Structure 1
Amino acid sequence: MSILATHQVLDAGLADWRKLAQALHARFLTRDFATGLALVAAIGDLAEDTDHHPDLVLTYPHVDVKLLSHDAGGVTTRDVELARKISLLAAERGIGADPAAPTVVELALDTADAASIGPFWAALLTGDAHAVDGDDVVDPTGRVPLLWFQHTDRHETPRQRFHLDVWVPHDVANARIDAAVAAGGRIVEDFEAPSFTVLADAEGNRACVCTILER
């Protein structure tokens, strides 16, 4: 099954859902634990019926859902179809969604030799030095954010430069950027917007606000 292009995901009309990085995300506002637990149980039954299983996070006020076809490495029609069914389950129970809420944070580290430092960071973050997939340190249990290595030229003096990639829904990115600037930040680079915009705080620490658009 092939991965859907960005325009195909947007054209699917999933009002409750937003694609961030590799997966579809939704937050359903259950407002109490019992309602959330019942929704999770219903989604579980649906997942068993369709043999496609989302990641679920149940908290007192909401349920977060993540959909990804792991065998394809991205969002497929299988995810879109299940997303529609989950939204229908929620709507039947009078549960609304907050499509502006989903956020994914990734860590990026500049390096001239990802192969040599990858096992260290994998062991430190996940306890498994082999938890490296290409240029990514991946925690399959979801305990820590993904760490990816950004290739740079080798430097005589070792240096370390981290930055955060903050994935937000494409239709709230400008508001998030405006809020960060209003809070004392500045835009460093926006020539790749809306794909990503580089921001910095007052001390020069950087982060990228990322969306799925124009990728």
Structure 2
Amino acid sequence: MLTGQQISDVVDPLGWRLIQAELLAHVLVPSLAAAVDAASVAVDAAGAGGNGHLTAELQPDRVVLRLQTAVTGTVTDDDLLLARSVTEALAGRSLAATPGDRAAVPQAMEIAIDALDIALVRPFWQAATGYVDQPGVEGPDIALVDPLGRGPAIWFQQMDAPRPQRNRIHLDVEVAPELARPRIDAAIAVGGLLLSDAHAPAFWVLADAEGNEVCICTWQGRD
């Protein structure tokens, strides 16, 4: 199993970022037609080895590329090799794999549901969302994920006692490590509160003015 640091050391110079157990990169383009062309370059570079690893999302101003070994739900050596191959192929066409721009950066969001009896409530959320079990994970910590990777993952946090407040859901927003502090500062600047940095740089806990919580997360501090 590769550590987050090992993965980041390889892919960061290539323009990719490790976010929630997958590699993300943005390829900035001027049009949707150009996005199709850029995606084709990436797919051709990956070849047959890209099956079960590479996905591409087309937007009018960018292609969002993702790499992950689907059967394990992790980043493997195969993904690192594919990231290099794709980046080099893009460069050969005057395109670049980048960690985004001011308009959008690679990030992922999770929904955390606090529960006293996870086994009781988890089937409800799976049925209601149409999500599937997170691949490559077993036991009580397994999350629910969108089978097409469109929506945020849902995971369940064990509670020891009932919570009297109305809010029992908080958001996890995972970003590249260099973006965590600016994101936190921006939230505090508009009235947010930093509740805890005890687990930084894995995550910081913030809240809005009414106490609704969000965790700004990175891969760091988890190896």
3-state DSSP class of the match of 1:212?
coil
Find the counterpart in structure 1 of residue 12 from structure 2. Answer: 14
SS in 2 for 1:25: strand
Aligned equivalent of 1:124, options 99, 124, 128: 128
Query: Does the 8 Å CA contact 1:30/1:96 hold for their aligned counterparts?
Result: no
| Cα distance between partner residues in 2 of 1:186 and 1:158 | 18
Q: Which residue of the partner structure matches residue 96 of structure 1?
A: 96
CA RMSD between the two structures: 2.0
SS of the counterpart of 1:50? helix
| Structure 2 unmatched ranges of 5 or more | 135-139
Partner of 2:179: 172
Call closer, same or farther: CA 1:23–1:166 in 2, change over 3 Å.
same
Query: TM-score, length-normalised on structure 1?
Result: 0.90
What are the Cα deviations for residues 56-114 of structure 1, in whole angstroms up to 9, with x where unaligned? 10011000011111223311111111011111122222223441510100000100111
Q: 5+ unaligned residues in a row in structure 1: which ranges? A: none
Give the equivalent residue in structure 2 for 1:29: 28
CA distance in 1, matches of 2:106, 2:164: 39
| TM-score, normalised via structure 2 length | 0.87
Deviations 1:129-173 (A, max 9, x none): xx3454422221223211100001143979660000000001111
Asked whether the 8 Å contact 1:26–1:99 carries over to 2, the reply is yes
Identity %: 37
Aligned mates of 2:94, 2:47 — CA distance in 1:
23
Report if the CA contact (8 A) 2:43-2:50 is conserved: no
Partner of 1:145: 152
Structure 2: how far apart are the matches of 1:149 and 1:27? 30
Q: How many residues align?
A: 210
Q: C-alpha distance in 2, partners of 1:192/1:86? A: 34
User: Structure 1 residue runs of 4+, over 6 Å off?
Assistant: 156-159
* 1:199 has 2:206 as partner: yes
Contact kept in structure 2, 1:118 and 1:132, CA below 8 Å: no
Instruction: Compute the displacement of 1:13 (Å).
Output: 4.7
Q: Is the 1:136–1:147 contact (alpha carbons within 8 Å) kept by the matching residues of 2?
A: yes
Tell me the amino acid that sits aligned with residue 94 of structure 1.
S
Q: Specify the code of the residue in structure 1 equivalent to 2:183.
A: R
How much does 1:36 deviate? 1.2
Matches of 2:176 and 2:211 in 1, distance apart?
25
Equivalent residue letter for 1:211: T
In the alignment, structure 1 residue 186 sits paired with structure 2 residue 185: no
Which is worse superposed, 86-95 or 108-117? 86-95
What is residue 41 of structure 1 aligned with on the other side? Answer: 40
Question: Which residue does the alignment assign to 1:59?
Answer: 59
